[in-house]
Amino acid sequence: MRDDINEILVSEEQIKEAVVRIGKQISTDFAGEELIVIGILKGAVAFMADLIQKIEIPIEIDFMAVSSYGMGTTSTGEVRILKDLDISVENRNVLIVEDIIDTGITLSYLTKVMESRGAKTVSIATLLTKPERRERHVPIDYYGYEVEDKFVVGYGIDYAEKYRNLPFVGVLKPEVYEK
Ligand code: IMP
Ligand code: MG
């Protein structure tokens, strides 16, 4: 699996650093409040699991699944909810946790969904952002690292459902997806 990786963009150490930093910021910003932390399946699972342990205020967690890239490496442009929340966000502080924000299509859509459901506040935490690729404006409250416009995998992020279990974020060798 590691043989398929060309270069490491974000190391295990850097990920740990970002998780602690973002957890602290969230705990400070929402001191005295409560949060619903919503993980976007499946990519956000690794980041979400680590991040919630660094949040020091009362939270509830829930998950949503949306359609994104399918098996390819470019966005289709449409968003569909495949799995919806179990709990209501009405009048609650919502924190959406994502693995990577690319075009911004997914998050701009989900932000609107939360607002239309009467969320008190909607914030976004993402491990990675690719600002060069943005098509929709998304106000990102917390992010780990900016990455270049390269297809990345690891720490929850997949290519064709694989590589999510790598403990770092790396770039796949082109021959892996040109096969
Ligand atoms: P957006 O709607 O274009 O912002 O896409 C967000 C989703 O696309 C992320 O949650 C990822 O699942 C996927 N994605 C974006 N960039 C990459 C990448 O480099 N590798 C793997 N998945 C990616
Ligand atoms: Mg995703």
Q: Which residues 6+ apart lie within 8 Å of 171 measured at CB?
A: 5, 6, 7, 9, 150, 151, 152, 153
Tens of pLDDT, residue by residue over 54-106, are 999 999 999 999 986 544 555 556 789 999 999 999 999 999 999 999 999 99
pLDDT at 17 over 90: yes
CB 96 near ligand 1, within 6 Å = no
pLDDT class for 1, splitting at 50, 70, 90?
Answer: confident
Which of 3, 4, 62, 102 is catalytic? The answer is 102
Section 110-120 average pLDDT: 97
> How many whole angstroms from 67 Cα to the centroid of ligand 2?
9
Asked if residue 138 lies in contact with residue 129, where contact means CB atoms within 8 angstroms, the answer is no
Q: Which domains does the chain have, with CATH numbers?
A: 13-150 (3.40.50.2020)
- pLDDT the model gives residue 135: 92
> How many whole angstroms from 31 Cα to the centroid of ligand 1?
31
- pLDDT the model gives residue 79: 87
Residues 37, 39: Cα–Cα separation, whole Å:
7
- pLDDT the model gives residue 74: 57
Asked if residue 106 lies in contact with residue 78, where contact means CB atoms within 8 angstroms, the answer is no
- pLDDT the model gives residue 72: 53
Any idea which ligand is nearest the CA of 100? 1
List the Cα angle 60/64/68 in 5-degree steps.
150
- pLDDT the model gives residue 71: 46
Mean pLDDT over each residue of the chain, to the nearest integer: 94
Section 132-149 average pLDDT: 95
> How many whole angstroms from 100 Cα to the centroid of ligand 1?
6
Q: What is the pTM of this model?
A: 0.94
Atom 5, ligand 1: which residue's CA is nearest?
102
Active site annotation includes 102: yes
